[in-house]
Structure 1
Amino acid sequence: MSLDKILAISGKPGLFEIVTQTRTGAVVQSLIDKKRITVGAHSNISILSEIAIYTLTEEVPLRDVLKKVKHKENGEPTSISHKDGKDTLEEYFFDVLPDYDEDRVYPSDIKKVIQWYNLLQKNNLLDALESEDDEKDTSEEE
């Protein structure tokens, strides 16, 4: 499964997987408790593949940031919690992405990245980060 099928919904905790699309929105399933809900087109939905993190020079796609976390943690859950203090979170994120823009990337953003990484890891969806690159390489060669 690719990050194109994983959503963050404003006001709802965790991440959601698209089950099916409807005329007025979509049916999604929570990665936390596997409950299905319907979200309307009016909901504030973010697709993970379209999210990027600001650095001092460019915007880095979330996929690349998650891959760096995966590499740092050897595919295991993060060594810190998303509930840790601001200084701990910033220090950890500085190790992952040394040139992130501290003025535009807030501690709440770092918390989300860590929480999302752990959810993807728990649901064995981190391999999608690698397979998406393979698909892109194949399509670029054609």
Structure 2
Amino acid sequence: MSLEKILSIGGRPGLYHLLTQTRSGFVAESLLDKKRITISAHSNVSVLSEIAIYTLEEEIPLGEVFQKILVKEKGGKTSVGHKDEKLKLEEYFFEVLPNYDEDRVYPSDIKKVIQWYNILQENGITEFVSETEEASEEE
């Protein structure tokens, strides 16, 4: 499963897997408790594959940031929790993405990235970048 089917829904905790679209919205399943919910088309929904993190040079897709965390943690969960203190979170994120823009990436964003990575990792979702993206990165 790739990040194209993983959603963040405003006002709801955790992440959701898109199951199907309906006339008035869509049906999604929580990755936390596996409950299915119907979301209206008017809800604030973000697809993880469309989110990017600001760096000093460019915007890096969230999938690439998750991939860097995966490599750093050797496939395991993060060594810091999303509820750790601000300074510890920023130090960890600086290790993962040394050139992130500290003025535009807030501690709340870092908390979400760490929390989302751990949720995905718990659910066995570790395909963060597609094969074509990896090939273009190596060139």
Q: Normalization by structure 2: what TM-score?
A: 0.94
Equivalences for residues 37-76 of structure 1 within 5 A:
37-76=37-76
| Deviations 1:18-66, CA, capped at 9 Å, x for gaps | 1111011000000000000000010000000000000000000000000
**Match for residue 35 of structure 1?**
35
Q: CA deviation at 1:136?
A: 5.5
CA distance in 1, matches of 2:7, 2:132: 20
Q: CA deviation at 1:70?
A: 0.3
Q: CA deviation at 1:129?
A: 1.8
Task: Point out where structure 1 has 5 or more consecutive residues left out of the alignment.
Answer: none
Task: Point out where structure 2 has 5 or more consecutive residues left out of the alignment.
Answer: none
CA distance in 2, matches of 1:89, 1:2: 26
Q: CA deviation at 1:72?
A: 0.4
CA distance in 2, matches of 1:114, 1:105: 13
CA distance in 2, matches of 1:136, 1:90: 27
Q: Which amino acid aligns with 2:10?
A: S
Question: Which runs of at least 4 in structure 1 moved beyond 3 Å after TM superposition?
Answer: 135-138
SS class of match (2:19): strand
More helix by share: 1
* RMSD over aligned Cα atoms: 1.3
Q: Which amino acid aligns with 1:41?
A: A
**Match for residue 13 of structure 1?**
13
The verdict on how the C-alpha distance between 1:99 and 1:135 changes in structure 2, with shifts beyond 3 A counting, is: closer
Q: Which amino acid aligns with 2:92?
A: Y
SS class of match (2:70): helix
**Match for residue 92 of structure 1?**
92
Q: Which amino acid aligns with 1:77?
A: K
Q: Normalization by structure 1: what TM-score?
A: 0.92
